[in-house]
Every structure is written in structure tokens, then in C-alpha cells.
Amino acid sequence: MSPRLFFRRVAIAEAITWALLLAGMFLKYVTETTELGVQVFGMVHGVVFVAYCVTTVLVAVDQRWSFGRTLLGLAAAVPPFFTVLFDWYAERRGAIADTWRLRDADPSGPLQRTAAWLIRNPARGAVTGVVAVAALTGLALLVGPPA
């Protein structure tokens, strides 16, 4: 899967989980009918939020994004639906290619070596990604919900 398609799918998934969480919040706080939507979609959104952040860092390292662009990509996960806007912005500026640069290029530095290993070993990379998302989500749960 290309970095463009991979990033887009995760960005859209993050926006969809935002919509589901907002619907759950409407049911909880406006109609006061149920908390189930927030309980379920809050967790789903949290997991996809972490997956989006991991994906953003991987794509940023592979595509050689500046620190500012990477930070903007990560910050886009906070307001609802901004991940889709950031995806649009990055594509319009040619910041996401159709191929993984580190699939063939020599990595320099520990971040690029790690990204290259993940990209060159897709099955192991996917498992590593799932483990990283689970571990980071678990850490977020230990810290507690956002205030």
C-alpha cells in the first residue's frame, strides 16, 4: 500500500471515529439518554487517534517532512475532522508520494532505520504497529482521560 493511500485511510478513519464520538456526546450531554456512545466510541476514537499519530510519524520520516509539517500533521488529530483537511493539504503540496522512499533508499539515523525496517517488512511492520498502538493506548489509559 502506498504511503498516500495508507495515510488517507487512517486520516479518514480518525475523522469517522470523531463523528461517532461526537454523536455519543450528543446522546450523553444533550438528550441525556445514554452514555454508551461515549464509552464505546471514546475508546475506539482513542485507539484510532493513536494509530493516526503513529502513521503520521512513519510517513513523516519516510517522506522527509519538516518538523513543522510533522507537528501540524500530529496537531490535526486534535480538532474534529482536521486529519482529512491535513491529508488534503499534504497531497496538494506534494508531501505524500505514491511510493515509500525508504523501501529502496539507504536510511540515515535511528528513526529512518526503524521506518525502513517497518516498510521493508510489511507483515512484521503491521504487527509492530498494532503492538505500538496497543502499548501507547494502554499508557494513555493509565494516565487518564483528557480533562
Q: What is the C-alpha to C-alpha distance for residues 14 and 33, in angstroms, rounded to an integer?
A: 25
State which amino acid sits at residue 16: I
Residue 144 — pLDDT band, cuts 50, 70, 90?
confident
Spatial CB neighbours of 83, under 8 Å, sequence gap ≥ 6: 10, 11, 12, 14, 15, 52, 76, 77
The pLDDT tens digits for 48-104 are: 999 999 999 999 999 999 999 999 999 999 999 999 999 999 999 999 999 999 999
The pLDDT tens digits for 14-48 are: 999 999 999 999 999 999 999 998 999 999 999 99
Q: What is the mean pLDDT of the chain?
A: 95
Number of other residues whose CB lies within 10 A of the CB of residue 44: 16
Question: Between these two residues, 141 and 16, which has the higher pLDDT value?
Answer: 16
